[in-house]
Amino acid sequence: MSQAPVSAPADAPAAAPAADDRPWPLLWVALLTALWLGWTTGWRHIAVPDEGRYAGVAWEMIRSGDWLTPTLNGLPFFHKPPLFYWLTAGSIELFGLHPWSGRLASVFGACLGAMALFLLLRRWSSLRHAQASLLALVTMPYWFGGAQYANLDMLVAGCITATIAMGAHASLLHQAGLPHRRALWATWALAALGLLAKGLIGFVLPGGVLGLWLLLRGQWRTLLALFSLPGMVLFGLIGAPWFVAMQQRYPDFFHYFFVYQHFQRFTETGFNNMHPMWWYVPVILLLTLPWLPVAAWLGRRGGGQGAGQGRAVAALQPQVPGAVKGLLWCWGLLILAFFSLPASKLAGYVLPVLPALAAVLAGWGLSRIGAQAWRRLAMGAATLSLALIATVRHFDNRAAHPLVAPIQAALQGDAQLVYVESFAYDLPYLLGLREPVPLFTDWDDPELPKHDNDLKELFDAAEFNRERGQHLLLPRSLWDQTLCRHARTVVVGPPDAVRQYAQLAATPPKAQTKRWALWVLDRDTLRQRGLACTPLAQQGLAGL
């Protein structure tokens, strides 16, 4: 018995516009988007802490051969799930250890989000709206810069954007009485990727956006239809196995990952990057220049167009359906509000807001300033995007890359590399190190776990493998013993480490940056200065 099709609501498109079946135009759009977002990924050195940390974890998967357990300096690192590490490790395997190969996962996330927005608007709004939105999004310095930065924020932003877009597509198909199950299953699969990209927000935020949008429109049946049993099974098959495997290996994993990293960090204070609730508003205004202020100014003055141009502009108006407008506003405002609540804020958290913002601007701006002014605005935004990357490159003085060549020279022969008082996140990636690096500090300091920094990350990681942690996180009492193990000890640490280590104070650094210093200590020279090296001392850390 045939079932009558469900009629679409008044604020939705009456029927889905026919999709463009020609593969080449869409393929070229995707290719040009990827080229634009990725062509400057090699301009900068790996930045710290984020890029060194996350690209370094991916490199450790390759060097250890264990692609299940993320490790930071050889210790289990469960701040985030593994999708970024898997994609980056695959990129490194294909292309080698380069700054740009460590950033391709972020480029992928940016392309995924941009193309998902384009396809949603092309199908349910208009091709003109889709093109203008895509152009605005990929030329926003905020989105462009996120695509050039190797951390998890852009990847999860792309997954969230794709999940919302696919979920909205499935919902509108359902309301129009058209086949929607494949789109619905794809929504659940994308939500699982979001879970693997950064945890619960990967599916909670898309679910919240879609749920709010449908509730405000009174679409109860469509909302209930989203809870597809096959979709949820697919979500579990994709998203759950890694979490189950980690819990089996490490019994405290669930508590640390879900309770501490998700809920406690969301609700508590005391972490880094504390900002007021309104902080994201000026950040978005600044990092989307020139789109927001210039579009508003041009819109008020009509883009400086004459009567003839005004008629042409009116013809370009994309006529955004009400259902799409409602989705975009729910999308942007809910995610902005969600990330404004916790005290700890980072700029990358609100990247999922930008696709909605770009689409709202495009729907409003094209009808007021015209396509020619819109393209000029995009050219200005693209110039600012490139200037952002060049500026970051010029002023980045925190990375340890100036130490790479002297370290490589000093590690020839019977030599060992150690850290003191701080962990140089980028050096394992830059040097292609095959083994973890011992780190010396006062690990018994009761204040150490209270600080949200590199030492606390390693301290927490060692709780999951205490035996290995005892070999890698070393107290200062073992310092002299370590100096006896090899003919040469290459030491990396902050310049003020000379306060805790007398041998460093007596040895001029071989190289130094604003944040890091490199010392090369010769065992025979240290013996002449009074270092006592017994045979037992020289063998005491043989299991390191």
pLDDT tens profile 454-507: 999 999 999 999 999 999 999 999 999 999 999 999 999 999 999 999 999 999
Same domain, 367 and 494: no
26 inside domain: no
> Is residue 476 located within the same domain as residue 502?
yes
Q: 511 — phi, psi (to 5°)?
A: -155, 155
Assess whether 384 and 284 both reside in one domain: yes
Name, in order, each residue with C-beta under 8 angstroms of 394's C-beta and a sequence gap of 6 or more. Answer: none
Q: pLDDT at position 299, please?
A: 60
User: 3-state DSSP call for residue 434?
Assistant: coil
Question: Using one digit for the tens of pLDDT, what is the confidence trace for 333-346?
Answer: 999 999 999 888 99
Average of per-residue pLDDT across 67-94: 97
Quote the CA–CA distance of 246 and 20 in Å, as a whole number: 44
Please check the confidence at residue 537 and state whether its pLDDT lies above 70.
no
When pLDDT is cut at 50, 70 and 90, the band that residue 5 belongs to is: very low
Confidence band for 267, pLDDT divided at 50, 70 and 90: low
- Spatial neighbors of 146 by CB under 8 A, at least 6 apart, are 106, 110, 153, 154, 157, 348, 351
Output the pTM of the full model. Answer: 0.92
For the chain, give the percent of residues with pLDDT over 90. Answer: 78
2 located within any domain: no
Confidence of residue 166 (pLDDT cuts 50, 70, 90): very high
Task: Report the C-alpha dihedral over residues 399, 400, 405, 410, rounded to 10 degrees.
Answer: 180
Structure token digits, residue 158:
């792309």
Half-sphere exposure of 168 (CA within 13 A, CB side): 33
Residue 185 clears pLDDT 60, i.e. is over it: yes
pLDDT above 60: residue 282: yes
Is the model's pLDDT at 308 over the cut of 70?
no
pLDDT band (50, 70, 90) for residue 543:
very low
pLDDT exceeds cutoff 50 at 309: no
Q: Mean pLDDT across the stretch 68-97? A: 97
Please give the backbone phi and psi of residue 490, each rounded to the nearest 5 degrees, phi first.
-95, 120
| Residue 406 Cα to chain centre, angstroms | 31
Instruction: Confirm whether 544 is domain-assigned.
Output: no
| pLDDT, mean over the chain | 89
Residue 153: pLDDT above 90? Answer: yes
> pLDDT (tens digit, 9 = 90+) per residue, 354-377?
999 999 998 887 777 777 888 889
Asked if residue 201 and residue 52 are part of one domain, the reply reads: yes
Final residue in a domain of this structure, among 395, 426, 441 = 395
Same domain, 292 and 420: no
Q: Which residues contact 312 (CB under 8 A, 6 or more apart)?
A: 370
Report the alpha-carbon distance of residue 36 to residue 139 in Å, rounded.
Answer: 9
- Looking at residue 312, its pLDDT comes to 41
Residue 456 lies in a domain: yes
Percent of the chain with pLDDT over 70: 88
Choosing from 376, 395, 414, the residue where a domain stops is: 395
Same structural domain, 101 and 228? yes
pLDDT class of 305 with cuts at 50, 70, 90: very low
* Residue 5, in any domain of the structure: no
- pLDDT recorded at residue 183: 98
Q: Is the pLDDT of residue 246 over 50?
A: yes
pLDDT at 75 over 50: yes
| Residue 3, pLDDT above cutoff 50 | no
Q: Is the pLDDT of residue 432 over 50?
A: yes
Tens of pLDDT, residues 384-420: 999 999 999 989 888 999 999 999 999 999 999 999 9
| Residue 385, domain member (yes or no) | yes
Residue 511 has pLDDT above 80, yes or no: yes
Whether 68 and 142 share a structural domain? yes
Residue 4 backbone phi and psi in degrees, to 5: -65, 140
Per-residue confidence band for 314, with pLDDT thresholds at 50, 70 and 90: very low
**What pLDDT is stored for residue 477 in this prediction?**
94
CB 219 within 8 A of CB 263: no
Q: How confident is the model at residue 237 (pLDDT cuts 50, 70, 90)?
A: very high
CA atoms of 240 and 245, how far apart (whole Å): 9
Contact at 8 Å (CB) between 351 and 146?
yes
274 backbone dihedrals φ, ψ, rounded to 5°? -80, 125
Task: Please say if the pLDDT value at position 268 is more than 90.
Answer: no
- Domain contains 252: yes
321 and 212, same structural domain? yes
Question: Which one of 349, 365, 395 terminates a domain?
Answer: 395
User: Could you tell me the CA-to-CA distances from 208 to 264, 335, 344 in Å, in that order?
Assistant: 20, 9, 21
Residue 2 has pLDDT above 50, yes or no: no
SS3 call for 150: coil
Cα 437 from Cα 499, distance rounded (Å):
21
User: Rounded mean pLDDT of 223-232?
Assistant: 96
Give the count of domains, the chain: 2
Predicted pLDDT at 451: 85
Taking alpha carbons only, the member of 114, 106, 105, 95 closest to residue 31 is 114
When pLDDT is cut at 50, 70 and 90, the band that residue 304 belongs to is very low
Both 316 and 440 in one domain: the answer is no
Given the structure tokens 């013993």, which residue do they identify? 481
- Asked if 204 and 262 count as a contact pair (C-beta separation under 8 A), the reply is no
pLDDT digits (tens, 9 = 90+) for 96-145: 999 999 999 999 999 999 999 999 999 999 998 999 999 999 999 999 99
Same domain assignment for residues 343 and 439: no
The domain in which residue 330 lies consists of 36-395
Domain contains 17: no
Average pLDDT over residues 261-266: 71
146 lies in the same domain as 123: yes
Same domain, 391 and 405: no
